[in-house]
Chains A and B, each alone.
Chain A
Amino acid sequence: MAAGPPTVFGHPTEQLADLYSSCPSRHYQVTQLLALFGQNNHLSCPRVFLYGPTGSGKSHVISSILNTLKLPHALVNCVECYTSRLLYDHILNQVALVTPAPDNDYTNYSRCDNMNDFVKTLRTVIEDRELQEETMYIVLDKAERLREMDMNILPAFLRLGELTGCNVCVVLLTEIVWEKFRAGTGMCEPLVLHFPDYTKDELLEILSSDCPTGYTKDFYMSYINIVLSVFYMACRNLNEIRHLALLNFPKFCEPIKKGEATEEDVHKLWRNIEPHLRKALQTVYLREVSSAQWERMQEEAATQESSSANIKTLTGKVNMELPFYSKFLLIAAYLASYNPARTDRRFFLKHAGKMKKTVQQMKRDERASSQLLGPKPFPLDRLMAIFYSIVEGKVAPTANIYSQISSLVTLRLMTQVGSDDQLDGAKFKCTVGLDFMRSIARTVNFDIIRYLYDFV
């Protein structure tokens, strides 16, 4: 009976060995899943819900189980399938082994508009392929998107086994906990399994596997240790850390290439790379500098000895050329948003006297500072009043001025609040930061700090 190579759950052991080696540090989870799936001709666990943080290997583990063991499956990403129809089509195509290609005029297996058709078609496909005995795996990645589709889709997928009468196993992968999926009158509860994040040691082990050729593993491990010391506090995502590690490795090796240090000179290498990595945390990690740009900069720095400080980042320079009156309108909008209306008198009238804050007031203001709470909406009249009091010279309220207000809204420098009324009684909010505002105010020689209530 047991002729041939030894098997576990009906799978040859070589395949299992491959599987375990392709999923490092996930031995427990793979075993658990394999046990639940069982032999292919047995009934498998009908619904599994896997959750875990980003980059904890959920999709990787599932897809390598399915691909290595060659189990019949459909693997769908719910972000791509943004309508239910696409979702059905993708699943049926994969189950029926149909790929839309030029030679079949990009046709799908069949046209399927609703869950009813889908269930029926799925059953016939499984019967056509003569897979009634085997388990069909349907994996829905980023399953949190299913909640935004029709109400019936998630409960129906969770009962797919009973509805089709076939041996179907539905696996949901997501980052979000199961409690947030429950809706309506409830549904069949899936078996909830957790993929924990990788520990520091596991991360080290995984990252050490992509050591570049020409360097020893220990050397690369010591580098990874330094990378983790900088990034680990802020970021646990394996993909991100791996990307950053590979990106900055040439810089780490630079002293060795130049002959200033040897591989054993750990301290020197550390001193060289650490500020560089900190810089990377502030730029590349936030995608203010693209990875290609960062690599180019490293090369330039290596040749010309120029520091990597003078980088033109995506966000660093907020410089916007605006017309003169637009600038003043924006300043007025900022003041109207961030100052309470009761202080307008004091700021913009000539003989209003000085404002004094009592200790009590100051304490209260600290809590309710608008720099903390954000901008408040203001009516158009107030904006215009402040505008006239800060702008020099006589400005007629022409159509031009008003159209500039609406173009500031389309530029998203201001937003309209409560868009129920377009013409009368419209309220606005100013949505720019203080730094941007200060640079605008400087170009028109206006000291904005002096007019802000929070800074008095």
Chain B
Amino acid sequence: MSKRKSTGSAAMSEGACYSELQRVLRERVYKISAPCDVAGENDLDKPRRHLLDLIQRCSSMGESNSALIIGPRGAGKTMLLSSVLAELKENRDFRDNVLEVHLNGLLQTDDRIALKEITRQLQLENVVGNRVFGSFADNLAFLLEALKKGSRDSQAVLFVLEEFDLFAHHKNQTLLYNLFDVAQSQQAPITVIGLTCRLDVIELLEKRVKSRFSHRQIHLFNSLTFDQYLRVFRSLLVLPAEFRDKKFCGKWNKHVESLSDDPGVTSILRKLYDTSKDIRTLKMFLMLPVARICPSHPRLEMSDFVEAHKILTADSKSNTLHGLSVLELCLVVAMRRLSDVFVNQPFNFQMVYNEYQKFVQTRSYAVQSFDRPVVLKAFEHLQQMELVRAAEGAGIGGRGQKEFRPMLLMIDKSQLMQAIQKYPACPTEVKHWANTL
């Protein structure tokens, strides 16, 4: 009876199955800091234990600590921290004993805002609703007072500073100084964890701030081997065991298994792995294929992956060149010639126009010759697309004439040649002209 019911429900809601699948997979692929379990277990294990220990000591023994997690973008810094916090929070003692303050260098762009945010998150007395009252000096004095009054037994505070390097750009590094100072002296137990992608972040700190920092650094690097990479790929797509429709789940997981053995798919993944090892790129690669799965397109096909790889690796400048008119393309070729003749020297519109005129007069049969103002308009369009930029030291704004402003071309020769190959209905003369570069 129950078996029939379950198959019956599966048959009824094929759409619901896919909807559920979309929900699960999107949650994994579209969130950059969503954890993916297999990610180099052994590599992450050591920093994880280190961090766990550090934070636990703060809550249980009242120690004050500071540490920096350093690693390139997409290496899993936020993921590591949040998984550590999630594990710690299962412990009731920790939940009662530790207050968390999350700050982000992108949001708290100066110390005043950061201070208000700290006061707000700590729910101190001068907070009413969501608003914080008092001036900067008041808030700072109040906060320090509150922290100083505490002893080893008082509640611990965990400060998490994301984009730590941006905090180092604040004026006088007041906030960092005060946080590290409290961590250093016998006051309320606080732990300061900074997350950054700059390897030289220590050099940004002032001497007095640097001396108060414990110099504990946790480095995270993308050090996956290709086999691990494939495992991550699989784990991102496999449906969890608690998926409601078991039959569908089994079928899907078998499909994923077969995908990761497919030589076509692995060769694409290999290419992706060779350009960048981080998981974020892999997730981005999977965004479109995952989004496409629906009842009318039930399987991930090879063509999906090929397309996604094409989108991810497309040369955007060649794409931009593709959208230019023939006149603008002629101008780009002329500018490329000028940049070849005068190596690294800027050119101006007048020189480009002369070059274009020479071309039109000597070679062109089908390409119409345009008047100077029309050519100037095309040139300005190129400038607006930022394919051409004003050279340094050129008069900015209304100074000088636009015909004589020194310019530099931002397109490589190979990009241009590639674009000309692909350009639809490119006049033969222009092709020949470009080939003589």
Chain A residues lying within 8 Å of B130, measured Cβ to Cβ, are 120, 124
Interface residue B348 (Cβ < 8 Å from any Cβ of A): yes
Q: Complex Cα distance A63/B153, Å?
A: 57
Q: Which of B19, B106, B166, B316 contacts A192 (CB 8 A)?
A: B316
Per-residue CB contact flags for chain B residues 268-297 toward chain A (1 = under 8 Å, else 0) read 000000000000110010011001101000
Q: How far is the CB of A173 from chain B (nearest CB, A)?
A: 14
Q: Complex Cα distance A349/B326, Å?
A: 50
Q: How far is the CB of A278 from chain B (nearest CB, A)?
A: 9
Q: How far is the CB of A164 from chain B (nearest CB, A)?
A: 10
Q: Complex Cα distance A343/B385, Å?
A: 41
A159:B325 contact, CB within 8 angstroms: no
Interface residue B215 (Cβ < 8 Å from any Cβ of A): no
Chain A residues lying within 8 Å of B319, measured Cβ to Cβ, are 51, 177, 194, 196
Q: Which of A36, A192, A415 contacts B291 (CB 8 A)?
A: A36
Chain B residues lying within 8 Å of A375, measured Cβ to Cβ, are 401, 404
Chain B residues lying within 8 Å of A187, measured Cβ to Cβ, are 73
Q: Complex Cα distance A185/B381, Å?
A: 30
A35:B291 contact, CB within 8 angstroms: yes
A119:B107 contact, CB within 8 angstroms: yes
Decide yes or no: A285 and B374 within 8 Å by CB, A36-B291, A114-B109, A374-B403 being known contacts: yes
Q: Complex Cα distance A138/B12, Å?
A: 36
Decide yes or no: A116 and B107 within 8 Å by CB, A1-B13, A51-B316, A192-B311 being known contacts: yes
* Total A-B contacts with CB atoms under 8 angstroms apart: 179
Decide yes or no: A163 and B107 within 8 Å by CB, A36-B287, A286-B377 being known contacts: yes
B22:A39 contact, CB within 8 angstroms: yes
Interface residue A244 (Cβ < 8 Å from any Cβ of B): no
A115:B106 contact, CB within 8 angstroms: yes
| Most chain A beta carbons < 10 A, residue from B19, B105, B117, B326 | B19
Q: Complex Cα distance A199/B423, Å?
A: 11
Interface residue B299 (Cβ < 8 Å from any Cβ of A): no
Per-residue CB contact flags for chain B residues 90-113 toward chain A (1 = under 8 Å, else 0) read 000000000000001111110001
B33:A162 contact, CB within 8 angstroms: yes
Residue of A nearest to B342 (CB): A367
Q: Complex Cα distance A163/B33, Å?
A: 11
Interface size class of A (residues with CB under 8 A): 35 or more
Chain A residues lying within 8 Å of B404, measured Cβ to Cβ, are 373-375
Per-residue CB contact flags for chain A residues 41-65 toward chain B (1 = under 8 Å, else 0) read 0111110000111101000000000
Q: Complex Cα distance A235/B381, Å?
A: 10
Chain B residues lying within 8 Å of A115, measured Cβ to Cβ, are 106-107, 109
Interface residue B198 (Cβ < 8 Å from any Cβ of A): yes
A185:B26 contact, CB within 8 angstroms: no
Q: Complex Cα distance A56/B316, Å?
A: 15
Interface residue B165 (Cβ < 8 Å from any Cβ of A): yes
Q: How far is the CB of A125 from chain B (nearest CB, A)?
A: 13
Q: Which of A39, A233, A288 contacts B325 (CB 8 A)?
A: A233
Interface residue A371 (Cβ < 8 Å from any Cβ of B): yes
Per-residue CB contact flags for chain A residues 172-207 toward chain B (1 = under 8 Å, else 0) read 000111111000011111011110110110000000
B316:A177 contact, CB within 8 angstroms: yes
Q: Complex Cα distance A415/B398, Å?
A: 10
B384:A175 contact, CB within 8 angstroms: yes
Interface residue B133 (Cβ < 8 Å from any Cβ of A): no
B350:A36 contact, CB within 8 angstroms: no
A43:B30 contact, CB within 8 angstroms: yes
Decide yes or no: A179 and B316 within 8 Å by CB, A52-B323, A415-B399 being known contacts: yes
Q: Which of A1, A42, A189, A192 contacts B22 (CB 8 A)?
A: A42
Interface residue A352 (Cβ < 8 Å from any Cβ of B): no
Interface residue A281 (Cβ < 8 Å from any Cβ of B): yes
Chain A residues lying within 8 Å of B348, measured Cβ to Cβ, are 372-374
Decide yes or no: A236 and B324 within 8 Å by CB, A39-B22, A53-B385 being known contacts: yes
A156:B106 contact, CB within 8 angstroms: yes
Q: How far is the CB of B316 from chain A (nearest CB, A)?
A: 4
Interface residue A307 (Cβ < 8 Å from any Cβ of B): no
Interface residue A38 (Cβ < 8 Å from any Cβ of B): yes
Q: Complex Cα distance A8/B294, Å?
A: 9
Q: Complex Cα distance A257/B401, Å?
A: 47
Interface residue B224 (Cβ < 8 Å from any Cβ of A): no
Decide yes or no: A1 and B354 within 8 Å by CB, A159-B106, A412-B398 being known contacts: no
Interface residue A282 (Cβ < 8 Å from any Cβ of B): yes
A180:B22 contact, CB within 8 angstroms: no
Question: Which residues between 371 and 401 of chain B lie within 8 Å of chain A, taking CB atoms?
Answer: 371, 373-374, 377-378, 381, 384-386, 395, 398-401
Interface size on B, residues (CB 8 A): 72
Interface residue B263 (Cβ < 8 Å from any Cβ of A): no
Chain A residues lying within 8 Å of B327, measured Cβ to Cβ, are 233-234
Chain B residues lying within 8 Å of A193, measured Cβ to Cβ, are 311
Chain B residues lying within 8 Å of A374, measured Cβ to Cβ, are 348, 350, 400-401, 403-404
Interface residue A15 (Cβ < 8 Å from any Cβ of B): no
A38:B424 contact, CB within 8 angstroms: no
Q: Complex Cα distance A193/B314, Å?
A: 9
A38:B26 contact, CB within 8 angstroms: yes
| Most chain B beta carbons < 10 A, residue from A35, A46, A179, A415 | A35
Per-residue CB contact flags for chain A residues 24-47 toward chain B (1 = under 8 Å, else 0) read 000000001001101100111110
| Most chain B beta carbons < 10 A, residue from A8, A156, A315 | A156
Q: Complex Cα distance A189/B32, Å?
A: 10
Q: How far is the CB of A368 from chain B (nearest CB, A)?
A: 11
Q: Complex Cα distance A282/B31, Å?
A: 52
Interface residue A72 (Cβ < 8 Å from any Cβ of B): no
Interface residue B362 (Cβ < 8 Å from any Cβ of A): no
B107:A194 contact, CB within 8 angstroms: no
Interface residue B322 (Cβ < 8 Å from any Cβ of A): yes
Q: Complex Cα distance A194/B395, Å?
A: 33
Q: Complex Cα distance A42/B311, Å?
A: 23
Q: Complex Cα distance A206/B64, Å?
A: 68
A44:B30 contact, CB within 8 angstroms: yes
Chain B residues lying within 8 Å of A373, measured Cβ to Cβ, are 348, 350-351, 404
Chain A residues with CB under 8 Å of chain B are 1-2, 8-9, 32, 35-36, 38-39, 42-46, 51-54, 56, 114-116, 119-120, 124, 144, 150, 152, 155-156, 159, 161-163, 175-180, 185-189, 191-194, 196-197, 199-200, 232-236, 281-282, 285-286, 288, 315, 371-375, 412, 415, 429, 431, 433
Q: Closest 4 interchain pairs by CB?
A: A374-B404, A53-B323, A197-B323, A177-B316
- Please give 18 more A-B residue pairs, beta carbons under 8 A apart, in addition to A56-B323, A155-B106, A180-B386: A1-B15, A42-B19, A43-B27, A43-B31, A114-B109, A152-B109, A156-B106, A163-B107, A178-B316, A185-B198, A233-B326, A236-B325, A285-B374, A286-B377, A374-B348, A374-B401, A375-B401, A375-B404
In the complex, 11 of the A-B residue pairs with CB atoms within 8 angstroms, ordered by the A residue number, are A35-B291, A36-B291, A116-B109, A144-B386, A162-B32, A163-B107, A177-B320, A192-B314, A234-B326, A372-B354, A374-B404
Chain B residues with CB under 8 Å of chain A are 12-13, 15-16, 19, 22-23, 26-27, 30-33, 73, 104-109, 113, 117, 130, 165-166, 197-198, 280-281, 284, 287-288, 291-292, 294, 311, 314, 316-317, 319-320, 322-327, 348, 350-351, 354, 367-368, 370-371, 373-374, 377-378, 381, 384-386, 395, 398-401, 403-404, 424-425
